Every structure is written in C-alpha cells, then in structure tokens.
Chain A
Amino acid sequence: MEVQLRSPKEIMKLSRLGCFHQSKLSFLRSFLEEFKDWKYSRDLFELNKEGYGRAVYSFSKNNRTYSLICFANELKDNERSDRVIATKWDAAFVLYDGIPNKLDIERLNENVPKQEVGRLSYKELTLSRANRSVRLFNEVVESLSNGRQPDKNILSKVGYLYRTTAVYGSGKFGLADRFRVKNRSEIKGPFRLEMMLVYLVRQFTFDQINHIAKNKNPKKFIELDSEIAKGLGIGNSTGLGMAPFIVNHPTLLNNWVLARETVLKEIREIENVDKNQFNTFITCLKKSIKNVKNWNTDSIFQKKKIKQLSIDLEKTIKYLETINVNQKFLFNEIYKWAENQVCDECLEYLVSIFMEPFDEIVNKFKDKMSSDEDRYFTIPTERKTSELRDILEKNYSDILKLDFLKKENNYNFWFISKNKEEPRLGRRFEVNGSELEQPLAIARDIKKLYEKVIVTKNSLPIAEFLIENDDLRHVVRRAFIIEKFPYSEILDNTIGQKLMPIDMLRFKLSFFGAIKFDPRSDKWLRICMFQGAPLPNQLNNFNDKWVYETLN
C-alpha cells in the first residue's frame, strides 16, 4: 500500500507548524548519537571562589577536537537581562575548532564576553551567552553547600540553571563560514555545532554550581546528584530573530519537513508491525505524558493547547488499549483515527512518537536535512511565463485567495532594528519604518507576482519578464524553488493581523529538539534543551529514549 505524503497545503500553515514537537530527527538527539563515541574531557577549570573565571571542555576523536571555551563573569542583578538589548551576561561561550592555546584564550577573552560587538575568527565555530536562572541557581547552591540535594519539585518548575539568549554560527561576527566545515562527516546534520555548544554549556553549569557550593562550605558540601543533573537542561529565550530564518532558507526548510513527512509515510506503509515496535511506541507515549504534565506556562494561548493535548492524549491511550495490534498497516490505522479524533497539537505529537521504534527508517534521513542552498539560487530564466503561472496556481492556491488590499491582511511589516540589527515586527499603519520592510511578506509578493503573470504573454521567457518586473525577482526565485521543494514555503500570511510569530519560532525549536515551549508573549518564548539527556561521561552507553525518562 502506498501512502501519500501529507500535502504542504495542510502542513505548511503556521498554526500547524506551531504544533510540531521534538522527535528522533531533532538535531540535539542526532548530535548525541553522532558524538557518543567521542572522547569528552574537561581541559581547564580556573574559577575563583565565586565561580568567575575560565573553563575549557572538549570532544575529540582521531585527529579532530572541538573545544568549548567558557568565560564566567560577575554580573549585577540590575544588569541581567535576557533581551537582545543586553550587553553583559553571567557567562559567554565560544566553540573553538581544535585545541586553543593561551594566546587564543586571551584573544577570545577580549571578544567573547562582548558577543555582537566582539570579533571572532575562522577558528571559532559558534558563539553564545547565558544568564543564570537566579532564584533556582542560588537555591541549588544553598542546598548543596549545606549537604543536601535540591528539592526536585522546585527544579522541575524551571528545568535548568542557565538560559542562553542567543546562539550564533555560520559566519556571524567573523565566525567560520559553513563552507569551511560542511564536509566533515560528524557535522552533516544541521546545527550540530550549535547543539554541541549548548550541550557542553550544560555541563559547565553543573561544574560551576558544584564549585561555588564547595567553596561556600567545604566541610558540608555535597555534589549535585548525577541523576538530578540529568533532569536539568539548558533554557533558552528566543525572540523574533529566529523567525526570518525559516523564510530565508527555503530549501533547508523543505529538507527538514520532507524528512519528517517521509518518515511518517514510511511508517504508515509498514504492513506488519512487530509487537515490540508497538510496545516501544506506547511506552514512550505513556512516559511522555509526564513531560506534558510538567509543561508550565503562564501563556493562556499555550495553556489551552496543553489542556487539549492532555485530553486528547488520554483519549488516544484509551483507543490504543483497545486496538487490534495484529492488524495490517497498524500505524496507518492509528494515524487515520487520530486525524479525525484529536487536535493538531496531539496529532503532531503522535507523529513524533511514531518514530521512536523505527531507527532504520529515521536514520536514513538524519544526514539529508542540510542543504547546499546556493545550488538552487539561480533562476531558470529560459523557462516561460506560462510555466511560472502554473507553478503559482499549483503551489500557492490558498495564498492567491488572500486580498492584500484589506488592512487585516497587510497589518504588519518585518524590519531590522538599527540598534541591535535584529528582526522586529511592526504594525504598518501605526509605526514608521515600513518603507524599509524586509522581503518576508512572501504571500503578499507572490500574489503581486501572480497578478502580473496572468496579464503577461504566456510564451514570454522569464529572462524578459524580469526586465520589466525586477521588483518581483525575489519571489520568482522562490516559485521555481517550490516547484522542486514542495515544503520550502510557509503557505500562510506572515504579515496578517492574526499572525502568531511564536508559531515560526516553535517550529524551528521543535527541530532543534526543544521541549516545554513557554510563550511569554506572541513574539518570544522560553524553552528547555537537553533536559533528561545523558551527561558527557555517560555518552558511551545511554538510552536513546532519554527524552521520556526525565525525573521531572
């Protein structure tokens, strides 16, 4: 039986993308799989009693070494901010390509704590900074220094000791360009180096807190229990900076979603599902409910989604307890049932957990989620206008129905702030700056392109169409990309009044492997990464379903 891939018109809507969850395809999970047999070591740890100073951690294999260099600095409470406008942080980090010498560390000490205003070199791969979750950090120090483990209930409410507020890579601020490292087999999956940085930062937070507690009370101090440490991840505050990324990297977006959709299709096409496979699925599903129950947020929007997810998960488990597990195409039956019976949040949750028993299917796609984007950049200008029209009508039919003369459809505009060079979303009819709008209103511009194309001679080559319409060149390029990459476009209005930008952020973060999305407004959210993940010294033997094994 052949199952069709789900239609991009169904999947690439923002409300659906905003329901995606972590899965076996997520980058932090594939990072751990890739690096599990690398040698981990803590090469330098020079912190004072208060925990300020430097540390270096590394992963090595054969002749390759990646080193995380940490700089922890004193920060007054009134200087601590997760917002992108901050200029100081509790700690700053850089991932170095190789083993840094003293001069490298001195040079980086001058630049890394400055983040965006510092300069990095081609020897550095990723850059980040993080702030303590102050209340929790202090409570854990207090507990450990008094000889007791911290209260797990308090830990579970937050889930991390530090929050990163940005992770940069791929040439930003002088960092190494992707082309320098892209052929290394260990980093073929997307964002592997960013994941490595975050993972090693997590270990630094444990080492630092133990160090501070020990110095506070050397006689009574005990170390943070490793099982408790495993239950802690790294938080992340994410704002609009992430949103344009998925618009600006269409073939990459396609490859992420196509991998997920093809894995789902192949699972639905399995005629005879082994009982053990089904058991793995249902075990992961049941264990995962603990994560849903501990998913804390003040966001009314997210609370409603979590509530419905919980109800639908209970309903699903009841259904699964009555299902004939020997029937053919079992996962297709479950999917078809869920499609009609549960909300999108739950449906996409189930799709993620479907993958757990099927390493042989999932692993085929892990290395296919990157993209050599320049290969698809050049417009095939020898094609005809009639072909462009057909592509637009086939792929953007819902977009073409939108009326951008209506205020609600043209309500927002994306711009780059002069102060921080970060993307922002403004209300077109209320604030200045729309004349400097970024090219992220793809739906509106596609509609504009279509209106031009339908009054143009069918046989006109695109090369000649572009002579008179160079203002539409950016969307002509995208149309020819979507022809080959059907999941390359968000098929929704990114400037409409009803836009929820956090849907874009959540979609991307789900591919990172984040959990516990906590929207703080419609424009930024907090998440947690690596919660439940093995510690570096446990990597050579760990349960790859760790994400469902958290203590919290």
Chain B
Amino acid sequence: MRSLSEIDTISKRASKAKGFSWGVAEEIGKCIKQLELFGLPGIKNLNQYLKIYDQNKFQKIKLISKSNISENKFHCPISLGIGFLDQIKSLEKLKSLEFNKIAYPILFLSFASRASEVLGKKILVKLDEKEFILNFNQSIFGNYSKNEIWENANSVLINFLDNNNSFSEEEWKEITKFANETFVEESDELKEKSAGAGLTDND
C-alpha cells in the first residue's frame, strides 16, 4: 500500500512535470492525498487527467461568477479548483454557483472540500445526478463510491449550506429529556449541603 506521504509527493511532482507551477503542484499533492484518505479515486483520476492534459486545451477560468458557462471546452478541474479555493470568501456571498462541463470532476471536489474548511461551512456539490456534501474537509459524504475514472460532468451546482442543525427543536428537546435522566433530583437538604454557594447570595 502506498502511504499518503508518497501519494502527496508523487502527485506534486507529476503535476509539475506536466506544466503546473510548483505552488499549484503543491496544492494538487495535498488535494489528492485528501481524496485518497476519504476513499475517493484521486490518483486514478489525476493520472488519467495528466495523460491528456497537454493534448486537450481545457477551459481555464480566472474570476468565478454565479454562472460559468463554457461554450466548447471542458473546464480544467485544477484551475477551477484553485480559483474556487482562492476566491471562496467572495463566492460565498453568491449563495450558489453553477458551471457546465467540467473534466475529471473528482479532482475539483478535493479543492472544494478544502474551501469548505476555509469557509467554516458545509458545501453541497451536485455533479450531474450525483451529490456530495463536503464537511469542513473532515469528510466527503455522497451517493457515489465507485473506484473509477470519471471523465466529465456536464452540470455542476454548488450551494453553500448555512450552519443549521440537521434536527428539529422538538427532537432536541426529546433527546435532552433522556440526557436529563442522568441528573439527581435535589431535595432541600441536598440544595443546602451539596452546592458550593449559599442559598442566598445577597451580600
């Protein structure tokens, strides 16, 4: 089994060899390591992408806006990912974003996952019919778990999720009741003898 350290180093060097700058290659190394840690096929997809990177001219986006449509070319997942990560604080204000045509979308997910950590918010990413919730770069939860090369997605929808509870107030009250069953009912005697402060504190 390859260690995560090897995965980071090899991804970085391979990306540099294919023309990315050292700084971007460092980002790629970290992202692929994170994908593999989460059980997603990072090396498989990066390897395939790098094989065709200098043959196909991918769309490289500069400033990301609410709607990002490419007429012909597929978006480069690295360029899009770096831009998304770098611009995340301003993009959050847009609440949601859309792109079309992205190559090797798994690679983009890793940058978005890091952006979720920077933002302190969960991010919902829909890649065609597949959905992923990115949890502060601690995990990626989704309805996709294939160990395969995923060449492209035609539509990308991104929503920044507010920091809300996943449960209702009623459910919270109910479970709190159970938790409170670990407490001891206080008699007058216990109130007097077991608390640190006095019963009245009017001094």
Contacts and interface: CB of A to CB of B under 8 A. Distances in A.
Note whether A and B form a binding pair: yes
Interface of A: 121-122, 170-179, 374, 377-379, 381-382, 439, 461-464, 466-467, 470-477
A171 B30 contact: no
Contact of B21 (A175, A378, A474): A474
Contact of A470 (B3, B4, B24, B89): B24
B87 A473 contact: no
Contacts of B30: 374, 377
A171 B3 contact: yes
Nearest to B117: A378
Given A177-B4, A464-B63, A467-B63, A381 B22 contact: no
Which of A122, A461, A473 lies at the interface centre, i.e. has the most chain B CB atoms within 10 A of its CB?
Answer: A473
Nearest to A439: B22
B5 A172 contact: yes
Given A171-B3, A470-B23, 5 more contacts: A381-B88, A471-B21, A473-B22, A475-B23, A477-B23
B26 interface: yes
B85 interface: yes
A475 B22 CA distance: 10
Chain A binding site: helix, strand, loop or mixed by DSSP? helix
B29 to A, nearest CB: 10
Contact of A174 (B2, B24, B27, B118): B2
Interface of B: 1-6, 21-24, 26-27, 30, 62-63, 82-83, 85-90, 114, 117-118
A374 B26 CA distance: 11
A463 B86 contact: yes
Contacts of A173: 6
Contacts of B83: 467
B65 to A, nearest CB: 13
Contacts of B2: 174
B26 A122 contact: no
A476 B1 contact: no
B119 to A, nearest CB: 11
Given A121-B1, A170-B5, A463 B22 contact: no
Given A378-B85, A464-B63, A467-B63, A177 B23 contact: no
Nearest to A475: B23
A177 B3 CA distance: 6
Nearest to B20: A470
14 contacts: A171-B6, A172-B6, A174-B3, A178-B5, A377-B30, A382-B90, A439-B22, A463-B87, A463-B90, A464-B63, A467-B63, A471-B22, A473-B26, A475-B23
